[in-house]
Chains A and B, each alone.
Chain A
Amino acid sequence: MKRAFTILSVLTALLLVYALYQALVVAPTERTMGEVQRIFYYHVPNAWTAFCLFLVNLLASVAYLITKKVKADALAVASAEVGVIFCTIVLVTGPIWARPVWGIWWTWDVRLTTTLVLWLIYVAYLVLRRFSDSAQTPVLAAVLAIFGALDVPLVYFSIWFFRTQHPQPVMGKGGSLDPQMLHAFLINLLAFSCFGAMVCWARYRLEMLHREVDELHALESLAGSESAKPSMPLQRSSR
């Protein structure tokens, strides 16, 4: 497992360097927007990876509600946290692109607003995980994750359903892309997908380690209280 993680990390690092070279050097400069269009090679792959991580969070949350397995809950926490990081980058790089192109940093456009709402839902999910120590927290968080995931298709399809300032898709039925630009875009998409998987894996291992340490601390305090009061029977927690 550790070896597979090392291989994935090395491959991801190489891919990210190659993807950066493709985005900054190989891809041609766009005619109307100029150099600022290159933000697209980072903005869209980060958005894609965030959506994938929120999908993993949804699947893990559903799996937890059905099976109550700790591993599913740990994966849900890990994917939500890493997804929020990727979504943060989308919300930061978007306005940096918008300022020179639209002349404003932010507008309450449907695509932008639904993305902000998505980010807020998953931040609320993480706050719930961080500050609630109830035994029901994983169940409540899993339900919240299911509601949060409903916003993902809304974000994605908002540019078709509503009139929006956000650029239309440049691939598929929405338009076409220069082959060199398409290549740079796909390499970045692959690189950030691998990077997302790698970081999520690392965060999952951290979550499992955290639970192991918590368990050992609980056992240690239990053993301590037993040795201090050998005659007293163990009382069950009221929670």
Chain B
Amino acid sequence: MNAVKFMFAAYIATWLIHGIYLGTVVHRFKKLQSQLKDLGKK
């Protein structure tokens, strides 16, 4: 592997980790909001 591939690997890994984490935060937020909505209806 040459230097450019290592560089892109680092950049991709960074955004992959941030993206996956942001995705889980959004997913948990939506789940809690729907739970809150259900509790409000009761």
Contact = CB atoms under 8 A, between A and B. Distances in A.
B6 A96 contact: yes
B21 A46 contact: no
Interface of B: 1-4, 6-7, 9-11, 13-14, 17-18, 21-22, 25, 28-29, 32-33, 35-36, 39, 42
A209 B14 contact: no
* Chief secondary structure at chain A's binding surface: helix
Contacts of B4: 35-36
* Chief secondary structure at chain B's binding surface: helix
Contacts of A11: none
Interface of A: 20, 24, 33-36, 38-39, 42-43, 46, 82, 85, 88-89, 92-93, 96-97, 99-100, 195, 199, 202-203, 205-206, 209-210, 212-213, 216-217, 220
Given A213-B35, A213-B39, A96 B25 contact: no
B39 A217 contact: yes
A212 B33 CA distance: 10
A18 B18 CA distance: 18
8 contacts: A35-B7, A39-B11, A85-B21, A96-B10, A199-B18, A206-B32, A210-B28, A216-B39
Question: Which of A36, A43, A97 counts the most B-chain CB atoms under 10 A from its CB?
Answer: A36
Contact of A93 (B13, B25, B28, B32): B13
A23 to B, nearest CB: 8
